[in-house]
Structure 1
Amino acid sequence: MKTMKLVWGAVATLMTLILIAALGAYWGLKQVEQYAAAPLNISEPQQLEIKPGINVRSLVRDLAAEGITENDWRLKALLKLYPELAGIRTGLYQIEPGQTLSGLLTQLNEGKVMQFPLALIEGRTITQWREELASAEYLKPEQDVFAKVMAKQGDTGLAEGRFYPDTYHYEAGQTAEELLTQSYLKMQQELAAAWEGRDKTLPLKTPYELLTLASIIEKETAKPEERGWVAAVFANRLRKGMRLQTDPTVIYGMGERYQGNITKKDLREMTPYNTYRINGLPPSPIAAPSKASLLAAANPADVDYLYFVSRNDGSHVFSRTLREHNNAVNKFQRNR
């Protein structure tokens, strides 16, 4: 009987110890869960750079020094429970208000770094795009990147018009080469599709001529409903052997000399791009055309217009005869 009491006493003690250990483990687990789920102490978005050599423990220590989180035994326990959270990746990240430590470590583990937009806008030139690249935040500068991209594609021509306008995204420290390669290949794809689906009666011999015509259309109007008519005017003039006489080509040929106005002297000057002096198309595109301008150049509207003039509100008056055109010029440009 005494032996049985000792056995039952030992069992009770053991069960008590097990219960205490279980309660302690449960309490510790809850502490770790609360630690991982607690919002970081920030009131607005902050950037966080993870440099090579930084591990999760040193990161949390630095965050704790800034009062953003706490650094104690719970971190070690958390990493034992979820060892994958220790595998953080280098890069520039953004911490958001309300984000938890667990969420942050998951973000760093998955390498969800900040993405920055780069808008290459239609109607702009390579010179203007170079300025955009130079001023792009966190984009690594690179010399002659347009020529570099084209050379790798086996293209030895001019860069103007050969890159597709769109919004691209990059990571901090990335070079522009990858983005511009996407842009270059996209333009080749869109140009090939437009050329394949073109009106076969167009007075154009090559896809490059289509690209050049599309760039002029892009500069002449931003109104979607006018692109087809502008394209028709130029196609009709090319068929008749008439000069294009389009101001944007003159401006492009003037380069940095252009200060907002075109004079009669400018219109008389012989440059490869002055379509008041040369026959046919200029030797290259004058800007980056949009897909809409490519499609308009490939399939102009079925109209017999030969002239158009600005109404000074972004729209144009289209005319079939020189007399109609002169009347429109007198009304909208000469105020007669």
Structure 2
Amino acid sequence: MTSVLVVDDSQFMRTVIGNILADNGYEVFSASDGRAAVKAVAERDPDIVTMDVEMPGMGGIEAVAEIMSTHPTPILMISAHTEAGADATFEALDEGAVDFLAKPSGEVSPNIASLADRLIEKVATVGRADVSSIDLEQDDSARDVTATTGTQTPADHPGRSFVEHPTVVVGASTGGPKIVERLLRELPVSLDAKVIVVQHMPESFTDRLAARLDRVTNYDVTEAADGLRIGPGEVVIARGNYHLEVVANVAGRIRMRLSQDERRHGVRPAIDVTMETAAKRVRDPLCAVTLTGMGRDGAAGTCAVKEAGGTTIAQDEATSPVFGMPKQAIQTGCVDHVLPDEAIPNALCSVFTQEAQTHG
């Protein structure tokens, strides 16, 4: 039987979450703070941990860091729908948590009833994650540089002549925020790309993700808005609960549209929607990148980009916390390059060199 340690300082939330999990066949333990969670993980060796972010004493972020350094375990953060809660959640993901679930807005809220399906889906996904693929040491180094300079300086690429107006569409889900951050940190300014990122994430978190990424990369990062135009050296993050469509590509600038059309693969934004519309309308050099995540979103979009003459990249199994979306994309036969996440920025540079585009 799969075991889950439920960590929350609220007895009510421990009971609610514990009952949902028990009713779905999980063995449940509980802890009321971070210090007790670290001890329980060491003693009981649970398969999965659900971790509250804000707790007295040792909070969720510190507990995640301690657990991942001493007894690595897949961790699902349970986060508040607040700006502070979102920022703290991203810190926990930096420390090695796999994914997060936004908790209902109030302990007596009718939204509690909607928690069960989302919780079970998230726990099942996190339980499949390979925590050995999470590179904490490199992230520590990156944070040290960021703390000193505000951004991390990407690698130089002397002697390379890049094409004009390259466009990159990146799709990611579970385990994605850390990997997207690394990709953008290491993408050289000289590439001058337009980057569209579709990260499966709730609406209340994508604006904080954009703000966070804007602080750690030399590219200008914003959350998508209807009618937004992006140009070279700019990154747009798909807004949660909205599909992000490419509607025009004129003079090196891309115009976007938000829609709340039907969910695809059960998600909105869907990576396929963005990749397919980019394939249809972007005539400049184009590359699609499919990163870690559960499901098959991005597979059809990958094929659309390939059929339109673009280049396609998928993250490899060894570095994917959840090798679902990349695997599905690879199985289509439309992926040009299967790479570890740390090799993707350099691969993009190679794709968009003048020589590669001339002989591609």
Tell me which interval the TM-score lies in, with the shorter structure as reference length: under 0.3
Find the structure with the greater CA-based Rg: 1
Greater per-residue helix proportion = 1
Per chain length, whose mean CA-contact separation is higher, i.e. which structure has more relative contact order (CA < 8 Å, sep 6+)? 1
TM-score relative to the length of structure 1: 0.23
TM-score relative to the length of structure 2: 0.22
